[in-house]
Amino acid sequence: MRTLIAACASAALCLGAGTGAAEGQKLVIEGQEMVTRAPAPDWHPLTEVISGWEFRDPATQALQMDDFENPAMIFVDQAREMWSTPDGAAGKSCESCHGAVEDSMKGVRAVMPKFNEEAGTLWSLEDYINNCRTARMQAEPWKWSGSEMTAMTALITLQSRGMPVAVRIDGPYQSWWEKGREIYYTRYGQLELACANCHEDHYGQMIRADRLSQGQINGFPTYRLKNAKLNSIHNRFYGCIRDTRGVPFAEGSDEFKALELYVASRGLGLSIEGPAVRN
Amino acid sequence: MRLARNLAFGLVAALGAGVAQAAEIVPGDVVFRDGAVETPLTDQPGDPARGREVFSQRSQGNCIACHAVSSLSDVPWHGEIGPPLDGVAERWSEAELRGIVANAKIMFPDSMMPSFYKVTGFIRPGDGFTAKPAKEIKPLLTAQQIEDVVAFLKTLK
């Protein structure tokens, strides 16, 4: 009995059911094929990295395959308006300095979070946006997971759609990456569960009504059918730790930025597919 | 007889909650031997019907989130993280089942299964699912709920 259980504690042997997705199904959006499975880098605990899209049911998957069906696109349209609308005491819009979002923001998401030399620290996309708002536009910062911020991160993310996740983990990134890895393997809360318990050891399996994915962030911000809005990366981390009956770190905290870097690196090679649709 | 006792207990419990909770072993005093717990945690025998609820309800044990059980086919969504528990009473004794439910990490080191009768050693424990720090840490299940769920597991033959 015990050996049977021990064998099942390793994901590879328990996986049987696969991802729950129709094997060989491709994610093609507006004619562009996304990489939803990629070989993992050497240091990675898994051999293959898999996008969260593969684990969703066919109806949810289909919503992401057509921009007219994807409910996130309403928010992207709102962000396009904000992009060219002046705000703040400096009377500037994003467009005043950055021009067309399609050109200036291409590839930006793929390398986030990114070390900011001037500030000497790791910044998420939200930090870059709020820095422009406060320091360059003299406007109020947006709330980390508020509707303006998630809409803007969706618009910017869209400009990297189909590009591979390409975060750096060397040099000044290394200590952040290590901190993120430590958090990933820490068993938080009264349920004593680490990210790895669910997203590394048991992906592909059902936990009550949810099929566990690898917990990748290449699809963020995600539109969730559950709350009918865009959800930020840090908000997802927050919810996952709260559900361990734990006290999450704050959105925008150094802990979550470190975790964001580490989790992003666990998806190196997957296509940026945000804004994705999830349940 | 059993029914009468449970009825009487229910009555007393309804009258004066805490007072009626007779002898009960607190989490720190539970004695584990090879992962098993010989002595029941309360002197009130477990009730399998209540144990079924503990097993199925999200607000209680939520065991079903990780374990499938054929006899619970009326409850939707059985998880796949742990082994299906059909026939579990033939694999483990009552004492072993009690030990596994109270603190599975003693029987199965590093198990993903939560420790249901433990109050120390947590990292950033919250007050339930509120995301606020816990003021006082109560075990995930009460001594009686543990006995009830063990009684339910014993029906899985």
Asked whether the beta carbons of residue A205 and residue B80 sit closer than 8 angstroms, the reply is yes
Cβ of residue A207 closer than 8 Å to a chain B Cβ:
yes
Nearest CA in chain A to B75: A208
The ipTM, to two decimals, is 0.89
Residue A33: phi, psi to the nearest 5?
-85, 130
Cβ of residue B18 closer than 8 Å to a chain A Cβ:
no
Question: Would you name the residues of A annotated as active-site residues?
Answer: 240
Helix (H) or strand (E) holding A28: strand A28-29
Mean pLDDT of chain A: 93
Q: What is the pLDDT of residue B9?
A: 44
Contact residues on chain A for B114, CB-CB shorter than 8 A: 190-193
Asked whether the beta carbons of residue B124 and residue A247 sit closer than 8 angstroms, the reply is yes
pLDDT at residue A10 above 80? Answer: no
Contact residues on chain B for A188, CB-CB shorter than 8 A: 123-124
- Kindly state the percentage of chain B with pLDDT values over 70: 86
pLDDT at residue B85 above 60? Answer: yes
Asked whether the beta carbons of residue A208 and residue B79 sit closer than 8 angstroms, the reply is yes
pTM: 0.93
Q: Which domains does chain B have, with CATH numbers?
A: 24-153 (1.10.760.10)
Please give the average per-residue pLDDT across A74-84, as a whole number. 98
The amino acid sitting at A232 is S
Q: What is the pLDDT of residue A216?
A: 98
For residue range B107-151, what is the model confidence (pLDDT) as tens digits?
999 999 999 999 999 999 999 999 999 999 999 999 999 999 999
Q: For strand A222-224 and strand A276-278, is the pairing parallel, antiparallel, or unpaired?
A: parallel
Cβ of residue B122 closer than 8 Å to a chain A Cβ:
yes
Q: Which of A186, A205, A247 is the closest to B126 by Cβ?
A: A247
Asked whether the beta carbons of residue B126 and residue A242 sit closer than 8 angstroms, the reply is yes
Q: What is the pLDDT of residue A14?
A: 38
Contact residues on chain A for B126, CB-CB shorter than 8 A: 189-190, 242, 244-247
Q: What is the pLDDT of residue B16?
A: 42
C-beta of residue A17 within 8 angstroms of C-beta of residue B80: yes
For residue range A149-184, what is the model confidence (pLDDT) as tens digits?
999 999 999 999 999 999 999 999 999 999 999 999
Q: What is the pLDDT of residue A20?
A: 58
For residue range B2-13, what is the model confidence (pLDDT) as tens digits?
444 444 444 444
Nearest CA in chain B to A5: B83
Contact residues on chain A for B58, CB-CB shorter than 8 A: 208
Q: What is the pLDDT of residue B2?
A: 43
pLDDT at residue A2 above 70? Answer: no
The shortest C-alpha distance from B48 to chain A (Å) reads 22
- Position B23 confidence tier, pLDDT thresholds 50, 70, 90: confident
Helix ranges, A9-124 (H): 11-14, 58-63, 72-83, 94-98, 101-104
- Position A13 confidence tier, pLDDT thresholds 50, 70, 90: very low
- Position A81 confidence tier, pLDDT thresholds 50, 70, 90: very high
Number of H helices, E strands in chain A: 12, 11
C-beta of residue A240 within 8 angstroms of C-beta of residue A134: no
| A238 vs A251: CA distance, rounded Å | 7
User: Is-cis flag, bond preceding A113, omega within 30?
Assistant: yes
For residue range A38-68, what is the model confidence (pLDDT) as tens digits?
999 999 999 999 999 999 999 999 999 999 9
Three-class DSSP category at B144: helix
